Structure 1
Amino acid sequence: MPTASGHTTAIRATKAVGTSVYNMNGEKIGSVEDIVLDKTDNSIMFAVVGFGGFLGMGEKYHPLPWSSLDYSKDADGYVVPYSKEELEAAPAKSINELTRDDGLIARQEAYKYYNVDPYWN
């Protein structure tokens, strides 16, 4: 079933992981490194977007609310409504740190920072 923007409502995680992520100016900012799932209510907590660094060295991992990623066929990737400066200042941690405490702290920080309505309320 398509969503309001014409996308299907289902996607395999293996298809989303590795997909490029762009800002609104069309600049590639990174790629989806992982997707963190909430097992208690069957929802996606956040996407882990990696950017910066070189050959895996110095890369930052940012939790982005899944609802903020909009797939663009033209870009062949996800587009997020954030500037490069907003993303550089956003919460970033190692992937292990993002999932510590069941990912709840990272989820709270991300939704608050990006001012996205929490899905869990």
Structure 2
Amino acid sequence: MNPLDPLDPNASATPIQPSAGARIAGSGVGDGPGPAVMAAATLDGNKVISSDGQDLGKISDIMLDVRSGRIAYAVLTEGAFLGIGGTLHAIPWRSLTLDTDRKCFQLDATAEQVKSSPGFDKDHWPAMADRAWGTSVHQFYHREPYWEATRSVVESDPATRVDPTSGI
């Protein structure tokens, strides 16, 4: 059974692909290129709200996986006062929803869960490229690691798949 086969009565009209990025909610379109494509710098400083409505802090950095070109994590700064102190948390990008109406991110975790998550300070960052560390962070937030999340899309989409035999 092929979900896109026009002769299959159970086929879907549109392909179902797993989302590899943050979700977007709200009616706000805004000026310029957003919200589907945005400069990372425009997201720095955005407030993050927990699933139970608590203000968790702000996005201080967006971490890119340079080799794959994917967003790996958003770094949440929690508990800082006037930019001083606070605990940093790596948040899997897929755990966030950009709320264009409230101009903030919503995190799919409670405030208590975030407080109990492994954090770090600005002078002692973890090795974010370490797959074991990354897997534990993604497991904490009940998300598939970002490097696995798009594998099926890349492998099944001829437009994004690289054929090693083609010489391209």
Q: C-alpha deviations, 1:82-120, integer Å up to 9, x for none?
A: 111100000101245435363645433310211101121
Answer with 49-58 or 25-34: which moved more: 49-58
Distance 1:44 1:103 in 2: 15
- Aligned: 1:44 with 2:71: yes
More helix per residue: 1
Q: Which residue of 2 aligns with 1:31?
A: 58
Give CA-to-partner distance per residue, 1:17-67, whole Å, 9 cap, x none. Answer: 110100123321111000111011110110000111433444000000011
Q: How many pairs are equivalent?
A: 119
Structure 1, unaligned runs of 5 or more = none
Q: Which amino acid aligns with 2:48?
A: V
**Separation of aligned partners in 2, 1:31 and 1:9:** 20
Please tell me whether the aligned partners of residues 63 and 107 of structure 1 are also in contact (alpha carbons under 8 angstroms): no
Instruction: Give the partner amino acid of 1:39.
Output: V
Q: Which runs of 5+ in 2 are unaligned?
A: 1-22, 27-33, 149-168
For residue 101 of structure 2, what is the amino acid of its counterpart? Answer: D
Q: What is the RMSD of the two structures over their aligned residues, measured on CA atoms?
A: 2.4
Q: Check 1:57–1:14 CA distance in 2 against 1; reply closer, same or farther (3 A cut).
A: closer
Report the TM-score when normalising by structure 1.
0.82
Report % sequence identity: 25
Structure 1: distance between partners of 2:134 and 2:104: 22
- Residue 115 of structure 1 corresponds to 142
